[in-house]
Amino acid sequence: MATLELMRKLTTSGTTKIVLLVLDGLGGLPITPGGPTELEAAQRPNMNRLAAEGCVGLSVPVSLGVSPGSGPAHLALFGYDPIKFDIGRGVLEAFGIGVRVGPNDVAARGNFCTLGPDGNIADRRAGRIKSEAAAPLVARLAEIKIPGVDIEVQPVKEYRFVVVFRGEGLSAEVDETDPQKTGVPPMPALARTPAAQRTADIANEWIAEAHKALAGQPQANGLTLRGFSGDPNLPKYRDVYRLRAACTAVYPMYKGVSQLVGMDVQHFSGDSPANEFAHLKTIWNDYDFFFVHVKPTDSRGEDGDFDGKVKVIETVDAALPALLELKPDVLIITGDHSTPAKLRAHSWHPVPLLLWAPATHMRDAAQEFGERACITGGLGRFPATDLMPLALGHALRLERYGA
């Protein structure tokens, strides 16, 4: 596997343009034995033409059998080993709702819980309290002040919220307070290193104030904090790949992960693939690499909505001509992971991938873009972390290794 260190040595500047179009959760499964997957069922004349002209394969996001979350799956697509570069849950949760986590910040994911009269946890998720009921409680927590730090608290969904501590000298080396079982009280936040003691003290002080603010609530009268984490300091695209990279996405989390690797997050009107491609046209001369994210393939998959997922793929396909008019040198169409409607969840199945680079690709026998065609595709089956080296190679942006 090519490492970031090797890429840093070999990447060279160039004028070629690379587009990475990610249909989130693209990979699927047939819902009837012998039937097509969502991708195979879609009317997708443009993708099929590109597959026939170019080459296809399957990418493995983390490792065989392992279903990734969106964070690690995107890191892998971007070339960062998701096992090595572990973005904390607190940071991911903050990104998911558009809350910034800067270099001096520590984020944690919060869960409301129900405490019994003995102070022990009776329900770790506060009876899955509704979002509307949780919102005013989160607002109360947001009013808590601790000297020396700024604190932001934002609701996520139901019993989940995010808290971000901001200030000098904070450390994410703090253990979670969730005992992961009922019948015992929440644990105190414990520092893993001496440097994290102040952060742990601040967290405990905040938790004590929060418990006072929640006293008397029927469901959410307590809370736990998990996944203390800070800016993971990822290497940046411009340094590792010498690419000026732009992110065109609608959902906050994907903007957040892109920002972590140094992409410029774009603002544009509308939220359809056609809107995204139209925006690319306006920034085409300003960047070398364009990450375009399409979310609803994953959402429909998680809903178990096979036909809905098919329709999203068809929408993307119908919009593709506008993207192709820009004449990218390398166009990759893939997913970050599979989300088969049949499973209503992210899955481990390798992800169909199409690479079209007319100046450099090896045309294979594939005549369409689909899971089964990808099995025997010319790119074979490879770790998702090898995609960026493949893209850079096909864009003639890598120097020869050795003489």
Distance CA 52, CA 273 (A): 23
Q: Are 74 and 257 in contact (CB under 8 A)?
A: yes
Q: Scanning residues 309 to 348, which ones bind its own copies (CB under 8 A)? A: 343, 345-348
Please, what is the minimum distance in Å from the beta carbon of residue 240 to its own copies?
Answer: 13
70 binds its own copies (CB under 8 A): yes
Question: Which residue, 93 or 368, has its beta carbon nearer to its own copies?
Answer: 93
30 binds its own copies (CB under 8 A): yes
Question: Which residue, 65 or 194, has its beta carbon nearer to its own copies?
Answer: 65
Question: Which residue, 48 or 219, has its beta carbon nearer to its own copies?
Answer: 48
Which of 31, 67, 198, 283 touches its own copies (CB under 8 A)?
67
Please, which residues have CB within 8 angstroms of residue 92's CB and are 6 or more apart in sequence?
Answer: 69, 71, 227, 253, 256
Please, what is the minimum distance in Å from the beta carbon of residue 349 to its own copies?
Answer: 6
Which of 15, 103, 181, 403 touches its own copies (CB under 8 A)?
403
Please, what is the minimum distance in Å from the beta carbon of residue 318 to its own copies?
Answer: 25
Which stretch in 1-9, 119-127, 132-140, 279-287 sits in contact with its own copies by CB under 8 A?
A: 1-9
Please, which residues have CB within 8 angstroms of residue 159's CB and are 6 or more apart in sequence?
Answer: 111, 112, 113, 125, 126, 128, 129, 134, 220
Distance CA 319, CA 307 (A): 19
211 binds its own copies (CB under 8 A): no
56 binds its own copies (CB under 8 A): no
Collapsed DSSP state (helix, strand, coil) of residue 105: strand
Question: Which residue, 277 or 289, has its beta carbon nearer to its own copies?
Answer: 289
72 binds its own copies (CB under 8 A): yes
Q: Quick one: which of 89, 86, 87, 92 has its CA closest to 178?
A: 89
200 binds its own copies (CB under 8 A): no
Which of 19, 20, 22, 29 touches its own copies (CB under 8 A)?
29
389 binds its own copies (CB under 8 A): yes
The separation between CA 146 and the C-alpha centre of its own chain, rounded to angstroms, equals 32
**Burial (0-12, 13-18, 19+ Cβ within 10 Å), 324:** middle
380 binds its own copies (CB under 8 A): yes
Q: Quick one: which of 36, 185, 42 has its CA closest to 117?
A: 185
| Pairing mode, strands 105-115 and 121-123 | antiparallel
Q: Are 391 and 90 in contact (CB under 8 A)?
A: no
Which stretch in 197-205, 266-274, 288-296, 355-363 sits in contact with its own copies by CB under 8 A?
A: 355-363
Please, what is the minimum distance in Å from the beta carbon of residue 271 to its own copies?
Answer: 22
68 binds its own copies (CB under 8 A): yes
Please, which residues have CB within 8 angstroms of residue 374's CB and are 6 or more apart in sequence?
Answer: 56, 57, 58, 350, 352, 353, 366
The separation between CA 199 and the C-alpha centre of its own chain, rounded to angstroms, equals 27
Which stretch in 118-126, 205-213, 235-243, 377-385 sits in contact with its own copies by CB under 8 A?
A: 377-385
392 binds its own copies (CB under 8 A): yes
15 binds its own copies (CB under 8 A): no
92 binds its own copies (CB under 8 A): yes
Collect contacts of 203-207 with beta carbons under 8 A, ≥24 apart: 203/108, 203/165, 203/174, 203/177, 203/228, 205/146, 206/144, 206/146, 206/151, 206/163, 206/165, 207/177
**Burial (0-12, 13-18, 19+ Cβ within 10 Å), 64:** exposed
31 binds its own copies (CB under 8 A): no
> Which stretch of DSSP H or E encloses residue 224?
strand 222-230
Question: Which residue, 51 or 280, has its beta carbon nearer to its own copies?
Answer: 51
Binding site for its own copies (CB under 8 A): 1-2, 6, 10, 29-30, 33-34, 37, 53, 58, 62-73, 82-83, 86-87, 89, 92-93, 96, 343, 345-350, 358, 360, 362-365, 371-372, 375-378, 380-382, 386, 388-394, 398-403
